[in-house]
Structure formats: structure tokens, C-alpha cells
Chains A and B, each alone.
Chain A
Amino acid sequence: MIAAGSQRLQAFAAEWARRRQGEDAHAVTLQRRRIYILPTRHGLVFAAMLFAMLLASLQYAASLAFAMTFLLAALGLVAMQYCHNNLLHMVVRFGGADPVFAGDEAVFRLTIENGADQPRLDVSVECEDSKAGPVDLGSGASTTLHLHRPTAKRGFASLSRFSVATTHPGNLFRAWTWINMDARCLVYPAPAEPGRLPPAGTSQSGERAMRNREDDDFAGLRAATPSDPPRRIAWKAYARSDQLLVKEFAGGAEQPQLFDFNTLRDLDVEQRLSQLTRFCLDAAEAGTAFGLVLPEETIPLGSGERQLHLCLQALALFAERP
């Protein structure tokens, strides 16, 4: 009940801060007016102790007791300034996020940079259900933290809001800033269970497709190009010759395949996308050239990581583009 209320209050405050600050670019310098600060529970207990001490000092009219109370109170106030200052003028940059499959966790890279002479301690990055850090940044240092968010469906996962926070020094106060930057992570469709073979019609030459599984005869080596999958690089040869070479197979392992959205008639749209994802992955795994035919887009034949990414991206954003 209370937790829910405090969560709603926090969401409300964050929304207010977003309206106040506007959307952020992919790199933000933390300025004074966007750093908020409140006492922690530890700090509140400390304050209650100070209040009790003040009452006792008044009661006994004891000067040294006053001095101790006031010194601790001043210490708390100075700690508040240091806590705020621990974030001030720090730079937060979005360092991108590698695409993931739906259902996996999206990992957002956030780089925090300390350009100042002073160290910054106990800085952490938090979003709703993920927290990274705390880390210490020496003078001039920068570090990259990862925020994890679960993904449910293909498209873009976004880190709509996260906070950069610190409780240094002494965990008496927590200073934080809310950052609303357009940090997105591409989410591919979840691949379907393996097992189903691509419809026969999709292959350009049925005869060769029948053969390609048996005849993985090693044919020779050729110079590697960036689009070659790493698993086909001849590492042993590399160790000998210092030259990146790729194994070539005879017998039609590279039977090009063009996967067509419209051939999977027994599945609904999302299932088809998942199935196509599976086909693309398998094809890339096998090193075959492959392409994709979607209702509004066709990706011509190609191979390698980049081709795989292009295809999966098209599947991820299928019918999502404005």
C-alpha cells in the first residue's frame, strides 16, 4: 500500500521533472537545476538523533553538548552539499545497446564521465527494475555501466527514463537526476523452435537444396572478407600463416535461399516473423546466402553478419515503421 503510493508519487515527480527539463540528447551534462536531493532513511534517523541531542542540550544547558550537536548538524549539511556536488557537471552518454531477441534482456550501455579534478564516489545508474553500480570515478575517469530491461516483443525497447544517483558521503542524502533520453534497443522477433524446414519453393534450385546437407566437402581456402561468418574462418591456418582465410566447401552448402513471408500460410503474422527469424539464423549459421521477401520490402540475397542483421531488423520492424 505504502510502497505503491510512494511509487506513484515517484512516477508523478519524475513526470514533472520530465516536463520541466524536456527530453535529453544522447549526452547530458548534469546541471544544478536538474539534480534533486532528499535525505535517505539513514539520514532521517541521523536527523532524529540530532533533534534529540538538541533537546537534551537545551534541557541541561550544556555548552559542550550544544557544540557536539551543532558540529554533527553542520557535518550533515556539508555532506548534503557534497552529495549534490558529487553529480554536478558529470556527463552521461548513451553508449548504445546491442540488438537482442524478444524475451531476452536488452542491455543499455551508459557511459558516465568525470571531467573534474575531484573523484566521484558511489555513483550508480538505475531504472525501474535494474541498477548498475555503485562505481567510483577518479579524476578525469569515465566508466560504462549496463542497465538491463526485459523485452517482451519485437520492435524497439526503450529506456525511457533512468536516474543517475549517489549517496556519497555517508549515505545521509541521496542526490539523483532523472534522464529522459531516447535510448533504444532493437529487439528482433523471438526465433521459432528449430525443426521446420524452409518451404521447398523458396530455394532457387531444388535439386541442389536436396544435396546440401550431405556434401560438406572441404574444397579449399580463400581470403576472408568482412561478411564471412567467423565460424568458417580457418583458425588453424590463421595460426600458421597470420592471414585470415575462410574455408570453402564444395557441394552446394551455399545454396542461396530466399525466405518468403507469404509462403507460411498456416501461421499468423508474429509466428511467421518468428519462423523467418529462425530460417535466417539457420541460414547464417550454415553460411548459406539468404534473402527475405516481405510484403512491403525485399532484402536481396547476401550472407554474413551484416545480412543477418539487415534481415532481422526488417523482421523486427515489420509493420512498425510509420
Chain B
Amino acid sequence: MTNLAANTTGIARLSWAAGLIAAASLPHWANLPPWMPAMLIGCILWRFGARILRWPLPGPWLMRLLTLTAVAVVLAEFRTINGLVPGSALLFVMLALKFLEARAQRDQLILSLLAYFLVFASVLDGGGPLEGLYLLAFIAVSTLGLLQVGRQGTLLATGPTTRIAGKLLIPAAPIMIVLFLLFPRLPGPIWSIPGANSSATSGLSDSMSPGDITSLGLSDEVAFRVEFTGLPPPASQLYWRGPVLTNFDGRSWTRPVGMRRTVEETITTQGEPSEYRVTLEHGGRGFAFALEMPTAWSAQSRRHSIRMTSEYQLLIGPTDLRNDRVSYSVTSYPNHRAVEPLTAAEREVFTRLPSDSNPRTRALVASLLEDSPDAATIVARSLDVFRSGDFFYTLTPPPLGRHTADEFIFETREGFCEHYASALAIMLRMAGLPTRVVTGYQGGERNPIGDYHVVRQSDAHAWTETWTPEDGWIRVDPIAAVAPDRIALGLTRGGAAAPSTLAGRIGNLTLLRQAALAWDAVNTFWTDWVIGYGPVLQRSLLEWLGIERPRWRDLLWLTAGATVVMLIVLTFWLGRASRRREHRDPAARQFARFARGLERRRIEPPGPGETPTAYAERASRTLPQAGDDIAAIVTSYLRARYEADATGVAFRELKSRVGDFRLRYARASS
């Protein structure tokens, strides 16, 4: 018997556990208040002190008290245990305390599960290539821990454990890749976390104040899902109309109060309609988003009713729907005209601006109007302002002061859709054109599995609408002018244009710059292909594999099937290694097959020193009726194995004889 098990002291076991929990908690250290890592280190030191210097460990009551205190302090710190950071903090504290009292194998199991979860929590909100590497390293090392924790006897020496861990991890890697690629990915979360949508990142409201927000958080939360009955329109026409903002006080755009008139009859349509059903994730404020321009609508539930405002916005009632899921069907015409006649008073409302604001913009607009052009020319010239200057689309614009349009157009030139829409609307109003700002969503991601579109909060968009007597309200989207790709591809989010990449900051140092560029490329690749691997990429992959529009259930079967096939391959590969060494020779393998057949007739397999002839004699005594066949097999075996058998005749003879023999005799004796 080889000495695989090394005598390992309690200190080694303890060091293993301490190392693992330290490694598991490390990714969280930066995000948590500093007393937590300090507490973890304290617990580890205490435990080692108890082991080496015989310090007293806390008793069960003190332990309970410590646990309660820790939970209370976490609660006081975060005011909730819901959410990633507070949840991680709680796990962190639990892990530290559990380490203090872990003694039995069961405690170590709990400890290892807590450690896994803690690392897991650190990658739930993304993670770069370094985090990926760290995760891989952690799992590799923790596999050693898993082997040791699950060990019945004494701990294994590190050498054999590492080899076993390697043997487990290497076949696990391809299985992991297949699961990763094929397991059906769903667009959006399975359920919504209550309270999560109150965060500042997402959603549309009744007002818009460009310049106040300096960083637009892009929430991937689903706003609504859309199922088209026919072909969906191209992404460039996916304008989901929401609240229309008409009143501007120099800083904020707000919704008008009250209805002016019914506008449904003013819509004239052309071309093919789009029919679809929208499911709002939350009823929210009752905005029923619909493609421009909706002509017919109906709510799914009788409890809800839908009406159109005088701004062509659909509202769904009753007013307070909160977190209800709301469904409704709409028919929209992407090709439409909305020729609402405006009275002189209404035209005044749609051109009203605070008189003392944005003087430089006012001067600019005056210069555009010198040759008294028509409305279309005014719009084109205004858009040219944004197109020609070095305007930048960014989600982290600098704050704007009192004259928002002036500062945006002449100074900062960085902003997202709201800044552009607001500035353009101000310019058009200055030119005397009735103009308003429309908010809503643009684009949406097609989900190949369910065959529907997902529109997320990060697809939120704002554009302008201007009125002419002949054509009525016309959509003017400055983002389409500045960054047409974004609209065509439905990429209104995407911070790819952010100027502050690492490479940009480092500047001209060639070597460093190249390294930074390379790292940037690694990061980009990682973000696009690993972190970004979701429903869309999965669909492309499946199409490349020749699988069109799979349902998620088929995909699950495919995943399971591929996994099983790989496991079967592994089984046979492993099975070969577990055979007796001497069975590598083909003739010996046939003889082993023969012995296996005899084993079913309760004839013991050849003993360590037993020659084939002796074995055959023993077998013939138990199975006299097969004596001749057994003798023949032994003869061909000896010939195939030990004599020159270049042509393989003896081997083939042996093989066929063993086959015949098994057919005839190798049935379990009853």
C-alpha cells in the first residue's frame, strides 16, 4: 500500500480554511466598510491564537450574541439586507463568524459553501478579465479544499490532491464551455426585485432637466416586451412614444396639464401597419408605450382602459397600476402624418421660451434665419449645427449652468439624447416653429428564443417634434443626425464613445500606450464576448451551427444531450485506465473478456499467480460441458500472445472463439 495519505496536523487544516475564506472575501474588501475585513482578520487571528496559544474561543451564547450584533450592525450600515452589497456584507460577516466556530466536517462544508457564495456574489454585477482569472484560480484552489473536506480518512498530501484536482478540472472545462454556450439565456431577469426600480438609474418621468444629471446610469432592467404578429419594422423606426413635454422654464421640460382636443382623427396613414402586443413590466404611471403612430389599441384585461392624449401619447388606466404587469395590443403605422390644426394660441404655447435665457443660441438662430428660409430648411440648418461641430455622445456629460443650450452648444458639447433634444427644441422654438420634446424608448433587442423584443430602461430616449401647417407634427431626432448608427442599430446606449479610455489618458508613451491598447483590446474582447454573451450572441452562435429559432426547451435538451455525450466519452476514457495493467495487450484483453464471461458462471477470475492453463483447468472442473471450448480458447490465447503472429490469424481466431463462447455459456447461472 502506498502512502498517499499524509499525516496532517490541525494547523494545516485550519490554514487551508483560513486561506480559502480570505481568498473568497478578497474581491469584496474594497466595496465594504473597512471594519468588515478587519473583523475577518480578527476572527482568523483569534482562531489561530486559540489553536496555538490556547486562547479561549467564544462559547455558544457569546457566539449567538456576536452573530446577532453583526447582523444588526450590517442592517444599521445598509438599512436593508436586500441587494448585492448588503447581501454580500451579511455573507462576509457570517463567514468570519462561522470560521471562529468551525470544528466538525459539517461546519467545514458550510464554510466552503459560504465561501463559494461570497465569490459568486462578487461576479454577479459583471467583472473584468482579471476577475475572471481570479475566479478560475479560486475554483482551482477551492477544489483542493473540497477534496480535503470530503475526505474520509486523513488529509491527502498536497501533491496527489493537486493531481486529482487537475484530473477533475480538465474534463470539467469543456463541459463548462458547452453549458455556458448552450444553456438558454433569457433576456432580462426572471422576477423583479421589489423596490429595486426606485433607484435613480432608470425609467422615464414627467419631466426632463438636461444638465442636472451628470451620469446616466444604464439599467438593464426590462421596461417592456413586445411581440409582433408580423415582421417587426427596422430598428430605425422603433420609436416607442411616451410622455410628451411641452412646457419649458429655462431648465426643465414638463408635461402639459389637461386635454386640448381629441387628436385621433388627425392621423392619416400610409403603407403597412405593425401589429403587436406590449407587456409592461410595471404599470407604473400608466404610460402605454406604442410605436409611432398608433391608430388602434385595446387593453388585454377588462380592468384597464387606454386613451390617447392630445399629444398622441397612449395612457392606460386606472391611474395607479404600480407593479402590475400590464398587457395591451396596438396597431401602428410607421408611415404616418399627424396633421393637427393648431390655433394661434396653441402655436404660442409651443414656441414659448423664457425670454432672458440662452442669448448666444438666440444669436446663432437669428443668423440661421437671415434669408427667411422655410421650416424644412430651418430644421436642416439646426441639425447641421450638431453635425458639423465636434459634438460627442456620452453618458457622463459635465453639468450645465443657467443657460443650458448655450453651454451645451458652445462649450461642453458632450451629452446624451436629452441634451440634444432639449437644445434642438430650444433652437426651433427660437426660430418660431412650434416644437415639443417627446420621451420614450428607441430600439429594442430581439429575443430569438421567445421571438419577441425586449426594451430596456437603457433604451430610454428623447427626441423632438416640430409642427408645420402642411405636414403637421414631424419627428426630428438629433441623435439620428449626430450618430445615425446608434439609431439604425438600436444602440442608443453603449458608452463606446466615452473619450476617457485608458489608452486615451496615457497618451504618447509608446510602449505603455501599446500595452494599454492591448489591454484595452483584451477588455473589449472580454466585454463583447464573455460578459456580453447573452441571448443575442447565443442566437448568432446557434444560427452559425445551423439551428434556427430554437425554443428554449429544445435548447435545454440540446444542452443536456451534449453534456451526456461528453460524460459518456469521459466514462470510457476513465474506464480504460481502471483496467488491469496487463490488459493493454489485445489478446490479453480478449482473455479478460473470456474470464469476465466465466465470472458470471461463478468461476473466480484468475488469481495473481495463476497461469492461463491452471485457470482453464479450474474452470473446466466447474463447467465440464465447456471443457473443450475452454481448452481451445487457452490454446489460441497462448499462441496469439506469445508466438509470432504477424498476420493476426491467431488473434482473430481467439477473438471469434471468445465471442462464440460468451454467446453459448456466459449467462448468469440461475
Contact = CB atoms under 8 A, between A and B. Distances in A.
Interface of A: 21-29, 31-32, 42, 45-46, 49, 53, 55-75, 77-79, 81-82, 84-85, 88-91, 93, 113, 115-119, 121-122, 124, 133-141, 143, 167-172
Interface string B559-591: 000010001001100110111111000000000
Interface in B134-189: 135-136, 139, 143, 146-147, 149-153, 156, 160, 164, 167-169, 171-173, 175-176, 179-180, 183, 185-189
A27 B607 contact: yes
B531 A63 contact: yes
B175 A63 contact: no
Contact of A167 (B124, B126, B152, B608): B152
A192 B193 CA distance: 78
The 9 A-B pairs at the shortest CB distance, nearest first, are namely: A171-B150, A138-B2, A115-B580, A74-B175, A74-B172, A64-B123, A27-B604, A170-B150, A70-B179
Contacts of A31: 596
Nearest to B131: A64
Contact of B172 (A75, A134, A137): A75
Contacts of A59: 189-191, 193
Contacts of A77: 172, 175, 563, 567
B208 to A, nearest CB: 28
B599 interface: yes
B581 A140 contact: yes
B5 interface: yes
B150 A167 contact: yes
A46 B605 CA distance: 39
Contacts of B668: 21-22
B151 A171 contact: yes
Contacts of A136: 1-2, 4-5, 153
Contact of A64 (B132, B168, B183): B132
Contact of A88 (B190, B578, B608): B578
A231 B239 CA distance: 106
A264 to B, nearest CB: 42
B532 A63 contact: yes
A56 B120 contact: yes
Nearest to A31: B596
Interface string B1-15: 110110000000000
B604 A26 contact: yes
A23 B602 contact: yes
Given A24-B602, A45-B109, A49-B113, A74 B189 contact: no
A111 to B, nearest CB: 10
B41 to A, nearest CB: 25
A96 to B, nearest CB: 14
A226 B2 CA distance: 37
Contacts of A23: 602
A37 B510 CA distance: 60
Given A59-B191, A61-B189, A70-B176, A89 B579 contact: yes
Contact of B153 (A49, A122, A143): A122
Contacts of B5: 136
A23 B600 CA distance: 9
9 contacts: A22-B670, A45-B109, A61-B188, A64-B530, A71-B172, A77-B172, A85-B574, A116-B577, A168-B152
